[in-house]
Structure 1
Protein backbone atom coordinates (compact mmCIF):
# COMPACT_ATOMS: atom_id res chain seq x y z
CA UNK A 1 0.00 0.00 0.00
CA UNK A 2 1.20 3.51 -0.87
CA UNK A 3 0.56 6.64 1.17
CA UNK A 4 -1.20 8.78 -1.42
CA UNK A 5 -4.88 9.78 -1.27
CA UNK A 6 -7.08 8.71 -4.19
CA UNK A 7 -10.38 10.34 -5.13
CA UNK A 8 -12.97 9.37 -7.73
CA UNK A 9 -13.75 12.17 -10.19
CA UNK A 10 -16.58 12.20 -12.74
CA UNK A 11 -17.28 15.90 -13.25
CA UNK A 12 -20.32 15.95 -10.94
CA UNK A 13 -20.71 18.48 -8.09
CA UNK A 14 -20.44 15.56 -5.65
CA UNK A 15 -17.10 14.42 -7.06
CA UNK A 16 -15.75 17.98 -7.12
CA UNK A 17 -16.63 18.31 -3.43
CA UNK A 18 -14.93 14.98 -2.76
CA UNK A 19 -11.84 16.14 -4.66
CA UNK A 20 -11.60 19.33 -2.56
CA UNK A 21 -11.96 17.32 0.65
CA UNK A 22 -9.39 14.78 -0.56
CA UNK A 23 -6.92 17.52 -1.49
CA UNK A 24 -7.12 19.03 1.98
CA UNK A 25 -6.68 15.58 3.50
CA UNK A 26 -3.63 14.89 1.29
CA UNK A 27 -2.17 18.25 2.33
CA UNK A 28 -2.74 17.38 6.01
CA UNK A 29 -1.03 14.03 5.48
CA UNK A 30 1.70 15.60 3.32
CA UNK A 31 1.21 12.95 0.62
CA UNK A 32 0.36 13.12 -3.12
CA UNK A 33 -3.20 13.19 -4.44
CA UNK A 34 -4.41 11.02 -7.33
CA UNK A 35 -7.55 11.86 -9.30
CA UNK A 36 -9.16 8.81 -10.92
CA UNK A 37 -11.91 8.63 -13.53
CA UNK A 38 -13.35 5.32 -14.72
CA UNK A 39 -15.14 4.89 -18.06
CA UNK A 40 -17.25 1.76 -18.33
CA UNK A 41 -17.05 0.91 -22.03
CA UNK A 42 -19.17 0.28 -24.03
CA UNK A 43 -21.50 2.96 -22.76
CA UNK A 44 -25.15 2.36 -22.03
CA UNK A 45 -27.22 2.52 -25.25
CA UNK A 46 -29.16 5.52 -23.87
CA UNK A 47 -26.23 7.61 -25.21
CA UNK A 48 -26.51 6.95 -28.95
CA UNK A 49 -23.86 8.44 -31.21
CA UNK A 50 -21.36 9.08 -28.42
CA UNK A 51 -18.05 7.61 -29.50
CA UNK A 52 -15.04 6.45 -27.54
CA UNK A 53 -13.00 9.52 -28.49
CA UNK A 54 -15.78 11.82 -27.28
CA UNK A 55 -15.91 10.03 -23.93
CA UNK A 56 -12.13 10.08 -23.55
CA UNK A 57 -11.98 13.81 -24.30
CA UNK A 58 -14.73 14.49 -21.77
CA UNK A 59 -12.95 12.40 -19.12
CA UNK A 60 -9.61 14.14 -19.78
CA UNK A 61 -11.30 17.52 -19.49
CA UNK A 62 -13.03 16.58 -16.20
CA UNK A 63 -9.72 15.43 -14.73
CA UNK A 64 -7.82 18.47 -16.02
CA UNK A 65 -10.38 20.94 -14.65
CA UNK A 66 -10.39 19.25 -11.25
CA UNK A 67 -6.59 19.18 -11.13
CA UNK A 68 -6.37 22.86 -12.12
CA UNK A 69 -8.79 23.91 -9.37
CA UNK A 70 -6.94 21.89 -6.75
CA UNK A 71 -3.52 23.18 -7.87
CA UNK A 72 -4.88 26.69 -7.33
CA UNK A 73 -6.06 25.79 -3.81
CA UNK A 74 -2.98 23.74 -2.90
CA UNK A 75 -0.05 24.95 -5.04
CA UNK A 76 2.48 22.71 -3.28
CA UNK A 77 0.41 19.52 -3.48
CA UNK A 78 1.57 16.84 -5.91
CA UNK A 79 -1.44 15.89 -8.04
CA UNK A 80 -1.64 13.15 -10.67
CA UNK A 81 -4.55 11.99 -12.81
CA UNK A 82 -5.54 8.62 -14.18
CA UNK A 83 -8.33 7.60 -16.56
CA UNK A 84 -9.30 3.91 -16.58
CA UNK A 85 -11.52 1.89 -18.93
CA UNK A 86 -13.31 -0.29 -16.40
CA UNK A 87 -16.44 -0.58 -14.31
CA UNK A 88 -16.31 2.28 -11.81
CA UNK A 89 -16.58 0.28 -8.58
CA UNK A 90 -13.98 -2.28 -9.71
CA UNK A 91 -11.57 0.42 -10.91
CA UNK A 92 -11.91 2.46 -7.70
CA UNK A 93 -11.46 -0.62 -5.51
CA UNK A 94 -8.31 -1.56 -7.44
CA UNK A 95 -6.94 1.98 -7.09
CA UNK A 96 -7.81 1.99 -3.38
CA UNK A 97 -5.65 -1.10 -2.85
CA UNK A 98 -2.63 1.02 -3.81
CA UNK A 99 -3.62 4.05 -1.70
CA UNK A 100 -3.74 5.02 1.95
CA UNK A 101 -7.25 6.47 1.60
CA UNK A 102 -10.04 6.54 -0.98
CA UNK A 103 -12.47 9.48 -1.12
CA UNK A 104 -15.81 9.35 -2.94
CA UNK A 105 -18.58 11.86 -3.52
CA UNK A 106 -22.14 11.17 -2.44
CA UNK A 107 -25.33 13.06 -3.00
CA UNK A 108 -26.99 14.80 -0.06
CA UNK A 109 -30.63 14.08 0.78
CA UNK A 110 -32.02 17.49 -0.15
CA UNK A 111 -32.71 19.57 2.95
CA UNK A 112 -32.18 16.54 5.20
CA UNK A 113 -28.89 15.60 6.75
CA UNK A 114 -27.32 12.48 5.38
CA UNK A 115 -26.21 10.73 2.23
CA UNK A 116 -27.79 9.16 -0.79
CA UNK A 117 -25.26 6.36 -1.23
CA UNK A 118 -25.26 5.12 -4.82
CA UNK A 119 -24.49 1.60 -5.98
CA UNK A 120 -20.97 2.53 -7.10
CA UNK A 121 -20.04 4.01 -3.72
CA UNK A 122 -21.60 1.15 -1.76
CA UNK A 123 -19.99 -1.51 -3.96
CA UNK A 124 -16.61 0.19 -3.63
CA UNK A 125 -16.84 0.54 0.16
CA UNK A 126 -17.51 -3.19 0.58
CA UNK A 127 -14.94 -4.26 -2.03
CA UNK A 128 -11.81 -2.73 -0.50
CA UNK A 129 -9.97 -3.01 2.81
CA UNK A 130 -8.63 0.55 2.38
CA UNK A 131 -10.41 3.23 4.44
CA UNK A 132 -13.06 5.02 2.37
CA UNK A 133 -14.48 8.48 3.09
CA UNK A 134 -17.82 9.60 1.64
CA UNK A 135 -18.28 13.34 1.14
CA UNK A 136 -21.30 15.44 0.11
CA UNK A 137 -21.22 18.80 -1.67
CA UNK A 138 -21.93 20.59 1.63
CA UNK A 139 -18.87 18.95 3.21
CA UNK A 140 -16.29 20.48 0.86
CA UNK A 141 -13.84 22.83 2.62
CA UNK A 142 -13.84 26.48 1.55
CA UNK A 143 -10.07 26.69 1.32
CA UNK A 144 -6.82 24.80 1.83
CA UNK A 145 -6.62 25.72 5.50
CA UNK A 146 -10.34 25.51 6.24
CA UNK A 147 -10.90 24.06 9.71
CA UNK A 148 -13.80 24.53 12.08
CA UNK A 149 -12.21 22.87 15.11
CA UNK A 150 -15.02 20.30 15.11
CA UNK A 151 -14.22 16.97 16.70
CA UNK A 152 -13.72 13.54 15.17
CA UNK A 153 -16.37 11.04 16.26
CA UNK A 154 -15.71 7.30 16.29
CA UNK A 155 -17.98 4.37 17.00
CA UNK A 156 -16.38 1.69 19.19
CA UNK A 157 -17.49 -1.84 19.97
CA UNK A 158 -16.08 -3.52 23.07
CA UNK A 159 -17.05 -6.92 21.66
CA UNK A 160 -14.80 -6.61 18.59
CA UNK A 161 -11.15 -5.94 17.91
CA UNK A 162 -11.34 -2.59 16.14
CA UNK A 163 -7.70 -1.47 16.34
CA UNK A 164 -7.63 -0.15 12.72
CA UNK A 165 -10.75 1.93 13.40
CA UNK A 166 -9.29 3.55 16.52
CA UNK A 167 -5.90 4.10 14.90
CA UNK A 168 -7.54 5.86 11.94
CA UNK A 169 -9.75 8.02 14.19
CA UNK A 170 -6.92 9.10 16.52
CA UNK A 171 -4.63 9.88 13.58
CA UNK A 172 -7.32 12.04 11.98
CA UNK A 173 -7.94 13.93 15.23
CA UNK A 174 -4.19 14.40 15.69
CA UNK A 175 -3.78 15.81 12.15
CA UNK A 176 -6.63 18.25 12.71
CA UNK A 177 -5.50 19.17 16.23
CA UNK A 178 -9.06 18.56 17.42
CA UNK A 179 -10.78 16.44 20.02
CA UNK A 180 -12.05 12.91 19.61
CA UNK A 181 -15.35 11.56 20.87
CA UNK A 182 -15.80 7.79 21.21
CA UNK A 183 -19.38 6.51 21.17
CA UNK A 184 -20.52 3.09 22.35
CA UNK A 185 -24.06 1.82 22.70
CA UNK A 186 -24.93 -1.25 24.75
CA UNK A 187 -28.02 -3.36 25.30
CA UNK A 188 -29.25 -5.42 28.22
CA UNK A 189 -28.88 -9.18 27.76
CA UNK A 190 -31.98 -10.75 26.27
CA UNK A 191 -32.67 -12.66 29.48
CA UNK A 192 -33.45 -9.40 31.31
CA UNK A 193 -36.52 -8.86 29.12
CA UNK A 194 -38.15 -11.75 30.98
CA UNK A 195 -37.45 -10.36 34.47
CA UNK A 196 -40.69 -8.78 35.74
CA UNK A 197 -39.00 -6.53 38.31
CA UNK A 198 -35.63 -5.40 37.02
CA UNK A 199 -33.60 -3.40 39.54
CA UNK A 200 -32.48 -0.04 37.97
CA UNK A 201 -29.30 -0.30 40.04
CA UNK A 202 -28.31 -3.27 37.89
CA UNK A 203 -28.61 -1.13 34.79
CA UNK A 204 -26.38 1.54 36.33
CA UNK A 205 -23.84 -1.10 37.36
CA UNK A 206 -23.76 -2.51 33.84
CA UNK A 207 -23.34 0.98 32.42
CA UNK A 208 -20.40 1.69 34.71
CA UNK A 209 -18.81 -1.64 33.82
CA UNK A 210 -19.16 -0.93 30.10
CA UNK A 211 -17.68 2.56 30.58
CA UNK A 212 -14.63 1.02 32.28
CA UNK A 213 -14.24 -1.39 29.35
CA UNK A 214 -14.34 1.50 26.88
CA UNK A 215 -11.75 3.36 28.98
CA UNK A 216 -9.49 0.31 28.87
CA UNK A 217 -9.97 -0.01 25.12
CA UNK A 218 -9.00 3.62 24.53
CA UNK A 219 -6.02 3.67 26.91
CA UNK A 220 -3.29 2.54 24.45
CA UNK A 221 -4.33 5.23 21.96
CA UNK A 222 -4.52 7.92 24.65
CA UNK A 223 -0.91 7.13 25.49
CA UNK A 224 0.14 7.07 21.82
CA UNK A 225 -1.64 10.36 21.05
CA UNK A 226 -1.29 12.43 24.25
CA UNK A 227 -2.16 15.64 22.40
CA UNK A 228 -5.64 14.41 21.45
CA UNK A 229 -8.35 15.33 23.95
CA UNK A 230 -10.62 12.29 24.28
CA UNK A 231 -14.18 12.08 25.54
CA UNK A 232 -16.47 9.09 25.40
CA UNK A 233 -20.17 8.52 25.64
CA UNK A 234 -21.49 5.17 26.85
CA UNK A 235 -25.25 4.66 26.85
CA UNK A 236 -27.95 2.05 26.52
CA UNK A 237 -29.49 2.15 23.08
CA UNK A 238 -28.67 2.29 19.40
CA UNK A 239 -25.09 3.27 18.60
CA UNK A 240 -26.16 4.30 15.11
CA UNK A 241 -28.64 6.87 16.44
CA UNK A 242 -26.09 8.41 18.81
CA UNK A 243 -23.40 8.56 16.14
CA UNK A 244 -25.82 10.34 13.80
CA UNK A 245 -26.63 12.87 16.55
CA UNK A 246 -22.93 13.41 17.27
CA UNK A 247 -22.25 13.93 13.56
CA UNK A 248 -24.04 17.30 13.66
CA UNK A 249 -21.00 18.88 15.34
CA UNK A 250 -18.32 16.64 13.84
CA UNK A 251 -15.59 17.16 11.26
CA UNK A 252 -15.58 13.43 10.50
CA UNK A 253 -17.40 10.32 11.70
CA UNK A 254 -15.43 7.06 11.72
CA UNK A 255 -17.16 3.67 11.72
CA UNK A 256 -15.89 0.14 11.35
CA UNK A 257 -16.79 -2.51 8.81
CA UNK A 258 -16.06 -6.14 9.55
CA UNK A 259 -14.21 -7.82 6.68
CA UNK A 260 -16.26 -10.71 5.32
CA UNK A 261 -14.41 -13.35 3.33
CA UNK A 262 -17.64 -15.03 2.26
CA UNK A 263 -19.68 -13.61 -0.65
CA UNK A 264 -22.84 -14.36 1.33
CA UNK A 265 -24.34 -12.11 3.99
CA UNK A 266 -24.26 -8.39 4.60
CA UNK A 267 -20.90 -6.68 4.15
CA UNK A 268 -21.92 -3.55 6.03
CA UNK A 269 -23.26 -3.72 9.58
CA UNK A 270 -26.41 -1.91 10.76
CA UNK A 271 -24.48 0.81 12.62
CA UNK A 272 -22.26 1.68 9.65
CA UNK A 273 -25.28 1.51 7.35
CA UNK A 274 -27.28 3.94 9.52
CA UNK A 275 -24.39 6.38 9.82
CA UNK A 276 -23.64 6.30 6.08
CA UNK A 277 -27.20 7.23 5.22
CA UNK A 278 -27.93 9.76 7.95
CA UNK A 279 -24.68 11.41 9.06
CA UNK A 280 -24.44 15.19 8.86
CA UNK A 281 -20.65 14.98 8.43
CA UNK A 282 -18.26 13.10 6.11
CA UNK A 283 -18.07 9.42 7.00
CA UNK A 284 -14.96 7.21 7.02
CA UNK A 285 -15.56 3.46 6.80
CA UNK A 286 -12.60 1.44 8.08
CA UNK A 287 -12.38 -2.31 7.55
CA UNK A 288 -11.30 -4.60 10.40
CA UNK A 289 -11.22 -8.32 11.09
Structure 2
Protein backbone atom coordinates (compact mmCIF):
# COMPACT_ATOMS: atom_id res chain seq x y z
CA UNK A 1 0.00 0.00 0.00
CA UNK A 2 1.01 3.64 -0.46
CA UNK A 3 -0.28 5.35 2.71
CA UNK A 4 0.91 8.88 1.97
CA UNK A 5 -0.07 9.20 -1.68
CA UNK A 6 -3.27 11.11 -2.50
CA UNK A 7 -6.51 9.77 -3.86
CA UNK A 8 -6.94 11.21 -7.35
CA UNK A 9 -10.34 11.51 -9.01
CA UNK A 10 -10.81 12.19 -12.69
CA UNK A 11 -13.63 14.62 -13.55
CA UNK A 12 -14.89 15.37 -17.05
CA UNK A 13 -17.74 17.80 -16.40
CA UNK A 14 -20.50 15.22 -16.66
CA UNK A 15 -23.07 15.14 -13.88
CA UNK A 16 -22.01 11.62 -12.89
CA UNK A 17 -18.63 13.03 -11.85
CA UNK A 18 -20.25 14.52 -8.74
CA UNK A 19 -20.99 11.11 -7.27
CA UNK A 20 -17.55 9.86 -8.27
CA UNK A 21 -15.90 12.81 -6.52
CA UNK A 22 -17.96 12.21 -3.37
CA UNK A 23 -16.90 8.53 -3.27
CA UNK A 24 -13.27 9.58 -3.73
CA UNK A 25 -13.54 12.15 -0.93
CA UNK A 26 -14.90 9.53 1.47
CA UNK A 27 -12.10 7.17 0.49
CA UNK A 28 -9.48 9.89 1.07
CA UNK A 29 -10.96 10.49 4.53
CA UNK A 30 -10.77 6.77 5.30
CA UNK A 31 -7.13 6.70 4.23
CA UNK A 32 -6.20 9.98 5.89
CA UNK A 33 -4.66 11.35 2.69
CA UNK A 34 -5.32 14.41 0.50
CA UNK A 35 -7.77 14.40 -2.41
CA UNK A 36 -6.71 15.67 -5.81
CA UNK A 37 -9.33 16.63 -8.39
CA UNK A 38 -8.20 16.36 -12.01
CA UNK A 39 -10.59 17.93 -14.47
CA UNK A 40 -10.19 17.19 -18.17
CA UNK A 41 -12.40 19.66 -20.08
CA UNK A 42 -14.52 18.21 -22.84
CA UNK A 43 -14.55 19.82 -26.24
CA UNK A 44 -18.02 20.80 -27.37
CA UNK A 45 -18.20 19.81 -31.02
CA UNK A 46 -21.25 19.45 -33.26
CA UNK A 47 -22.08 16.04 -34.74
CA UNK A 48 -19.52 14.81 -37.30
CA UNK A 49 -17.27 17.81 -36.58
CA UNK A 50 -14.29 15.54 -36.03
CA UNK A 51 -14.79 13.96 -39.45
CA UNK A 52 -14.79 17.43 -41.01
CA UNK A 53 -11.69 18.46 -39.10
CA UNK A 54 -13.59 21.03 -37.02
CA UNK A 55 -12.77 21.41 -33.33
CA UNK A 56 -14.79 23.71 -31.12
CA UNK A 57 -12.56 25.16 -28.35
CA UNK A 58 -13.31 24.36 -24.76
CA UNK A 59 -14.54 26.98 -22.32
CA UNK A 60 -11.65 27.16 -19.81
CA UNK A 61 -13.35 29.70 -17.56
CA UNK A 62 -16.59 27.73 -17.45
CA UNK A 63 -14.70 24.50 -16.73
CA UNK A 64 -12.73 26.20 -13.97
CA UNK A 65 -15.96 27.42 -12.37
CA UNK A 66 -17.37 23.90 -12.44
CA UNK A 67 -14.22 22.57 -10.80
CA UNK A 68 -14.36 25.25 -8.10
CA UNK A 69 -17.99 24.37 -7.35
CA UNK A 70 -17.17 20.69 -6.93
CA UNK A 71 -14.21 21.49 -4.69
CA UNK A 72 -16.29 23.85 -2.55
CA UNK A 73 -19.10 21.31 -2.24
CA UNK A 74 -16.69 18.57 -1.12
CA UNK A 75 -14.99 20.91 1.35
CA UNK A 76 -18.34 21.70 3.01
CA UNK A 77 -19.17 18.04 3.49
CA UNK A 78 -15.67 16.93 4.48
CA UNK A 79 -14.11 19.62 6.67
CA UNK A 80 -10.47 18.91 7.33
CA UNK A 81 -9.91 17.08 4.04
CA UNK A 82 -7.09 18.65 2.06
CA UNK A 83 -8.36 19.11 -1.50
CA UNK A 84 -6.43 20.36 -4.50
CA UNK A 85 -7.89 20.87 -7.95
CA UNK A 86 -6.24 21.04 -11.34
CA UNK A 87 -7.60 21.54 -14.85
CA UNK A 88 -5.54 19.86 -17.57
CA UNK A 89 -6.37 20.05 -21.27
CA UNK A 90 -5.30 17.29 -23.62
CA UNK A 91 -5.87 13.61 -24.29
CA UNK A 92 -8.02 12.28 -21.44
CA UNK A 93 -6.51 8.80 -21.25
CA UNK A 94 -2.93 10.12 -21.27
CA UNK A 95 -3.68 12.69 -18.57
CA UNK A 96 -5.41 10.22 -16.28
CA UNK A 97 -2.66 7.63 -16.65
CA UNK A 98 -0.08 10.25 -15.75
CA UNK A 99 -2.16 11.33 -12.76
CA UNK A 100 -2.46 7.72 -11.58
CA UNK A 101 1.31 7.34 -11.52
CA UNK A 102 1.53 9.73 -8.56
CA UNK A 103 -1.56 8.45 -6.75
CA UNK A 104 -2.25 5.83 -4.15
CA UNK A 105 -5.59 5.31 -5.87
CA UNK A 106 -7.28 6.67 -9.00
CA UNK A 107 -11.07 6.98 -8.92
CA UNK A 108 -13.10 7.22 -12.13
CA UNK A 109 -16.79 7.20 -12.94
CA UNK A 110 -19.11 5.53 -15.39
CA UNK A 111 -22.32 6.62 -17.06
CA UNK A 112 -24.37 3.73 -15.68
CA UNK A 113 -25.88 2.37 -18.89
CA UNK A 114 -27.36 -0.66 -17.19
CA UNK A 115 -26.70 -4.38 -16.82
CA UNK A 116 -27.80 -5.35 -20.32
CA UNK A 117 -25.55 -2.91 -22.18
CA UNK A 118 -22.55 -3.04 -19.89
CA UNK A 119 -21.84 0.21 -18.17
CA UNK A 120 -18.11 0.51 -18.82
CA UNK A 121 -17.73 -1.03 -22.26
CA UNK A 122 -15.62 1.18 -24.51
CA UNK A 123 -15.40 4.07 -22.05
CA UNK A 124 -12.37 6.16 -21.18
CA UNK A 125 -12.59 4.75 -17.66
CA UNK A 126 -12.17 1.22 -18.94
CA UNK A 127 -9.18 2.15 -21.10
CA UNK A 128 -7.42 3.84 -18.19
CA UNK A 129 -8.21 1.00 -15.78
CA UNK A 130 -6.74 -1.50 -18.22
CA UNK A 131 -3.41 0.32 -18.40
CA UNK A 132 -2.84 2.08 -15.07
CA UNK A 133 -0.02 0.82 -12.89
CA UNK A 134 -1.85 1.87 -9.72
CA UNK A 135 -5.16 0.57 -8.32
CA UNK A 136 -8.19 2.11 -10.02
CA UNK A 137 -11.72 2.23 -8.60
CA UNK A 138 -14.62 2.60 -11.03
CA UNK A 139 -17.74 4.09 -9.47
CA UNK A 140 -21.13 3.63 -11.04
CA UNK A 141 -23.39 6.64 -10.67
CA UNK A 142 -27.08 6.39 -9.84
CA UNK A 143 -27.45 10.15 -9.51
CA UNK A 144 -30.04 11.92 -11.61
CA UNK A 145 -29.54 14.85 -13.93
CA UNK A 146 -30.79 18.09 -12.43
CA UNK A 147 -29.57 17.46 -8.87
CA UNK A 148 -27.08 19.89 -7.40
CA UNK A 149 -23.77 18.67 -6.01
CA UNK A 150 -24.96 18.31 -2.42
CA UNK A 151 -28.08 16.34 -3.34
CA UNK A 152 -26.12 14.15 -5.76
CA UNK A 153 -23.74 13.24 -2.96
CA UNK A 154 -26.66 11.95 -0.91
CA UNK A 155 -27.46 9.30 -3.52
CA UNK A 156 -26.26 5.98 -2.04
CA UNK A 157 -23.74 4.81 -4.62
CA UNK A 158 -22.39 2.13 -2.24
CA UNK A 159 -23.82 -0.12 0.42
CA UNK A 160 -22.68 -0.94 3.94
CA UNK A 161 -21.97 -4.53 2.94
CA UNK A 162 -18.78 -6.55 2.89
CA UNK A 163 -15.79 -5.99 0.69
CA UNK A 164 -15.77 -8.79 -1.89
CA UNK A 165 -12.55 -10.01 -3.52
CA UNK A 166 -12.12 -12.48 -6.34
CA UNK A 167 -9.08 -14.72 -5.89
CA UNK A 168 -7.44 -16.82 -8.59
CA UNK A 169 -5.81 -19.70 -6.76
CA UNK A 170 -3.59 -20.36 -9.78
CA UNK A 171 -2.20 -16.84 -10.00
CA UNK A 172 -0.59 -14.09 -7.94
CA UNK A 173 -2.90 -12.79 -5.24
CA UNK A 174 -0.85 -10.84 -2.67
CA UNK A 175 -1.38 -7.37 -4.18
CA UNK A 176 -5.10 -8.02 -4.58
CA UNK A 177 -5.51 -9.41 -1.07
CA UNK A 178 -3.47 -6.58 0.45
CA UNK A 179 -5.81 -4.03 -1.13
CA UNK A 180 -8.95 -5.95 -0.16
CA UNK A 181 -7.95 -6.53 3.49
CA UNK A 182 -6.93 -2.88 3.86
CA UNK A 183 -10.22 -1.68 2.36
CA UNK A 184 -12.25 -3.93 4.67
CA UNK A 185 -10.25 -2.89 7.73
CA UNK A 186 -10.69 0.83 7.04
CA UNK A 187 -14.45 0.37 6.61
CA UNK A 188 -14.90 -1.89 9.61
CA UNK A 189 -16.40 -4.38 7.14
CA UNK A 190 -16.14 -8.09 6.60
CA UNK A 191 -14.25 -9.58 3.67
CA UNK A 192 -15.84 -12.19 1.41
CA UNK A 193 -13.29 -14.17 -0.61
CA UNK A 194 -14.73 -15.71 -3.78
CA UNK A 195 -12.64 -18.50 -5.33
CA UNK A 196 -12.95 -21.60 -7.49
CA UNK A 197 -14.10 -24.79 -5.82
CA UNK A 198 -11.77 -27.06 -7.75
CA UNK A 199 -14.64 -28.92 -9.44
CA UNK A 200 -14.71 -29.39 -13.20
CA UNK A 201 -17.13 -26.84 -14.64
CA UNK A 202 -17.68 -24.72 -17.73
CA UNK A 203 -14.25 -25.19 -19.24
CA UNK A 204 -12.32 -24.55 -16.02
CA UNK A 205 -10.49 -27.66 -14.85
CA UNK A 206 -9.66 -28.63 -11.33
CA UNK A 207 -5.98 -28.47 -12.31
CA UNK A 208 -6.36 -24.84 -13.37
CA UNK A 209 -8.24 -23.91 -10.23
CA UNK A 210 -5.73 -25.49 -7.89
CA UNK A 211 -2.68 -24.26 -9.78
CA UNK A 212 -1.25 -27.78 -10.29
CA UNK A 213 0.42 -28.04 -13.70
CA UNK A 214 0.31 -31.79 -14.05
CA UNK A 215 2.53 -34.50 -12.66
CA UNK A 216 2.28 -33.89 -8.94
CA UNK A 217 -0.61 -34.53 -6.60
CA UNK A 218 -3.39 -31.98 -6.63
CA UNK A 219 -3.58 -29.56 -3.74
CA UNK A 220 -7.01 -28.94 -2.27
CA UNK A 221 -8.32 -25.46 -3.05
CA UNK A 222 -9.12 -24.96 0.62
CA UNK A 223 -5.46 -25.57 1.53
CA UNK A 224 -4.22 -23.19 -1.16
CA UNK A 225 -6.62 -20.49 -0.04
CA UNK A 226 -5.69 -20.91 3.62
CA UNK A 227 -2.03 -20.48 2.73
CA UNK A 228 -2.82 -17.34 0.72
CA UNK A 229 -4.97 -15.77 3.43
CA UNK A 230 -2.90 -16.60 6.51
CA UNK A 231 -0.36 -13.74 6.35
CA UNK A 232 -3.09 -11.17 5.65
CA UNK A 233 -5.33 -12.45 8.41
CA UNK A 234 -2.37 -12.13 10.77
CA UNK A 235 -1.79 -8.55 9.61
CA UNK A 236 -5.48 -7.59 9.76
CA UNK A 237 -6.92 -9.55 12.71
CA UNK A 238 -9.88 -7.14 12.87
CA UNK A 239 -11.21 -8.30 9.50
CA UNK A 240 -13.75 -11.11 9.56
CA UNK A 241 -13.22 -13.37 6.53
CA UNK A 242 -15.89 -15.44 4.79
CA UNK A 243 -14.88 -17.89 2.09
CA UNK A 244 -17.17 -18.60 -0.87
CA UNK A 245 -16.23 -21.45 -3.19
CA UNK A 246 -17.95 -21.24 -6.56
CA UNK A 247 -18.39 -23.51 -9.55
CA UNK A 248 -18.66 -22.21 -13.09
CA UNK A 249 -18.22 -18.69 -14.38
CA UNK A 250 -16.49 -16.79 -11.59
CA UNK A 251 -17.42 -13.45 -13.16
CA UNK A 252 -21.14 -14.06 -12.75
CA UNK A 253 -20.67 -14.97 -9.09
CA UNK A 254 -18.74 -11.76 -8.47
CA UNK A 255 -21.43 -9.73 -10.19
CA UNK A 256 -24.05 -11.36 -7.97
CA UNK A 257 -21.95 -10.60 -4.89
CA UNK A 258 -21.56 -6.96 -5.93
CA UNK A 259 -25.28 -6.30 -5.43
CA UNK A 260 -24.81 -6.10 -1.66
CA UNK A 261 -21.09 -5.27 -1.55
CA UNK A 262 -19.45 -2.05 -0.39
CA UNK A 263 -16.64 -2.69 -2.87
CA UNK A 264 -15.67 -5.42 -5.34
CA UNK A 265 -11.93 -6.05 -5.71
CA UNK A 266 -10.44 -7.89 -8.69
CA UNK A 267 -6.95 -8.26 -10.06
CA UNK A 268 -5.43 -7.35 -13.41
CA UNK A 269 -2.08 -8.42 -14.82
CA UNK A 270 0.16 -5.36 -14.99
CA UNK A 271 2.08 -6.60 -18.03
CA UNK A 272 1.08 -5.31 -21.46
CA UNK A 273 0.42 -7.40 -24.56
CA UNK A 274 1.66 -6.19 -28.00
CA UNK A 275 -1.74 -4.58 -28.64
CA UNK A 276 -2.07 -3.04 -25.19
CA UNK A 277 -3.13 -4.03 -21.72
CA UNK A 278 -5.39 -7.05 -21.43
CA UNK A 279 -8.30 -7.61 -19.05
CA UNK A 280 -9.25 -11.19 -18.32
CA UNK A 281 -12.80 -12.52 -18.68
CA UNK A 282 -13.58 -12.44 -14.95
CA UNK A 283 -12.48 -8.83 -14.60
CA UNK A 284 -14.27 -7.96 -17.84
CA UNK A 285 -17.53 -9.29 -16.43
CA UNK A 286 -17.06 -7.28 -13.24
CA UNK A 287 -16.43 -4.09 -15.23
CA UNK A 288 -19.50 -4.61 -17.38
CA UNK A 289 -22.10 -5.58 -14.84
CA UNK A 290 -21.08 -5.06 -11.20
CA UNK A 291 -23.45 -2.85 -9.23
CA UNK A 292 -20.94 -1.77 -6.56
CA UNK A 293 -17.75 0.22 -7.12
CA UNK A 294 -15.06 -2.01 -8.64
CA UNK A 295 -11.38 -1.82 -7.68
CA UNK A 296 -8.89 -3.10 -10.26
CA UNK A 297 -5.57 -3.94 -8.64
CA UNK A 298 -2.59 -4.49 -10.97
CA UNK A 299 -0.25 -7.35 -10.12
CA UNK A 300 2.84 -8.94 -11.68
Give the TM-score band, short-chain normalised.
Answer: 0.7 to 0.9
Structure 1 segment 1-289 matched on structure 2, within 5 A: 3-39=5-41, 44=45, 46=47, 50-52=56-58, 55-110=59-114, 115-138=119-142, 142=154, 148-185=159-196, 186=198, 188=200, 209-264=220-275, 267-289=278-300
When residues 93 and 66 of structure 1 are mapped into structure 2, their CA distance, relative to the original with a 3 A threshold, is: same
Give distance in 2, aligned partners of 1:191 and 1:135: 30
Instruction: Decide which moves more: 214-223 or 26-35.
Output: 214-223
Bigger Cα displacement from structure 2, 117-126 vs 242-251: 117-126
Q: Retained in 2: the 8 A contact 1:4–1:33?
A: yes
- Separation of aligned partners in 2, 1:173 and 1:49: 46
- Counterpart contact for 1:9–1:62, Cα < 8 Å: no
* Closer, same or farther: CA 78–237 of 1 in aligned 2, 3 Å: same
How far has the Cα of 1:149 moved from its partner?
Answer: 3.3
What is the deviation of 1:112? 6.5
Q: Is the 8 A contact 1:13 1:137 kept in 2?
A: no
What is the root-mean-square deviation in Å for CA atoms of aligned residues?
A: 3.0
Q: How many residues align?
A: 273
In 1, the alpha carbon distance for the partners of 2:223 and 2:103 equals 36
CA 1:277/1:148 → structure 2, altered by over 3 Å: closer, same or farther? closer
TM-score under structure 1 length normalisation: 0.85
2: CA distance, partners of 1:231 / 1:38: 40
Change (3 A) 1:114 1:45: closer
- Separation in structure 2 between the aligned mates of residue 266 and residue 213 of structure 1, nearest angstrom: 28
Which protein has the bigger helix share?
Answer: 1
| Aligned partner of residue 9 in structure 2, secondary structure | strand
Structure 1 unaligned spans of 5+:
194-205
Structure 2 unpaired stretches of 5+: 144-151, 207-217
1:40 and 1:69, CA in 2 relative to 1: closer, same or farther beyond 3 A?
A: closer
Structure 1 residue 262: Cα displacement: 3.0
**The 10-residue stretch of structure 1 (110-119 or 55-64) with the greater mean CA deviation from structure 2:** 110-119
Indicate how the Cα distance of structure 1 residues 76 and 118 shifts in structure 2: closer, same or farther if over 3 A, else same: farther
Structure 1 residues 126 and 30, CA, compared in 2 at 3 Å: closer, same or farther? same
2: distance between equivalents of 1:23 and 1:120? 21
Q: Secondary structure at the match of 1:249?
A: coil
Contact 1:89–1:120 (Cα < 8 Å) also in 2: yes
Q: TM-score, normalised by structure 2?
A: 0.82
CA offsets per residue over residues 121-170 of structure 1, 9 Å max, x none? 111112211100111223876399x9853100000011111211100000
